[in-house]
Structures are given as C-alpha cells and as structure tokens.
Amino acid sequence: MTYEELEKALYSIPHLASWLSFDFDPNSYDKFDDYLSSMGYSTDVSWEEMKVDEAKALIRYCISTSLAYRTKLVLDNNLLDKITNGIIALFDSDKIKLLTNVLFDGNRVHSWDPITESTFEVAFVIFDDSNISLLIFEDED
C-alpha cells in the first residue's frame, strides 16, 4: 500500500479526526508539543508505550469499532490489515516507538487521558529516528 493509498483509506474512516505525518528530529520533543498546542491539542498527556502487536490491535479496534457504542463497523478484514500494517510500515521496525493515551485490554478501551475535547478519543504518537505520526480517533454519543 502506497502512502497515498494509506492516506485515502484512513480518511475514509468516519471517526478518524486527525492523521498527521511529518519528518522528525527525535531531539525536538518541544517542537512536537508546540505543534500539538498550535493545533489546539493538549500536551498535558500521560502517554503509554505499546508494543507493535498491541498497537496494531488497538488501531484495528479503533478503525472497526464505534468508540461511543462499542459496536462493530462493517469493514473488510483485508482492508483493516492493509491500513494497520501500512501505518506501521512507515517506520523503521528496529526503532519504532508507539505511544497512546488510553488503557486497552485487547477488547476495549477502559480510560484515556484526552488531548481533544471529544467525548471519546484514542490518540497515537508513532515515531522512529526520522518520522512521526499523530493518529486521533474521536467519537460522540
């Protein structure tokens, strides 16, 4: 899946609020916080590091489930795999770091430290030595 195909697939997801991806200097966390702030997002967040498999499961969950009602959305499993693997493939597998603002048990989100004002939200910061992405899913009841 090309970057353009991945971006198109992500923007077809109704509850995807934000997908930002850009070059990154790992020594510039302040710049990232400034960027989040300039977009109106909170920077006062406790990020939890995740393993790749855990992050893939949570991304799949966010794409395929209403965060507000926990109902499954009808999506092709092949497309889910392509999107999830496409996101992870943007990063060096030896240096990837995945952070989220939620507690996820593999089946559902239990709590989160919000960066938006949405009723329900899951945010990811994914980075390696040269790239970073912010992925935010939001939902309202």
- How do residues 84-140 score in pLDDT, each as one tens digit? 999 999 999 999 999 999 999 888 888 888 988 889 999 998 888 888 888 999 988
* Contact assessment for residue 126 and residue 135, using Cβ atoms and an 8 Å cutoff: yes
What lies within 8 Å, CB to CB, of 126 at 6+ separation is 55, 87, 88, 90, 91, 96, 97, 98, 99, 132, 133, 135
- What is the residue type of 5? E
Please choose, from the candidates 97, 93, 106, the residue with its C-alpha nearest in 3D space to the C-alpha of residue 58: 106
Most confident range, picked from 10-24, 63-77, 89-103: 89-103
Q: Does 40 have pLDDT greater than 90?
A: no
Sign of the dihedral defined by the CA atoms of residues 63, 139, 120, 108, in that order: negative
Token pair in block for residue 134: 């912010």
Q: Residue 19: what pLDDT?
A: 76
Averaged pLDDT score across all residues of the chain: 85
Which residue carries 């995807």 as its tokens?
Answer: 16
Rounded Cα distance between 135 and 106, Å, is: 19
Q: Residue 86: what pLDDT?
A: 93
Kindly list the domain boundaries of the chain, sorted by start residue.
3-139
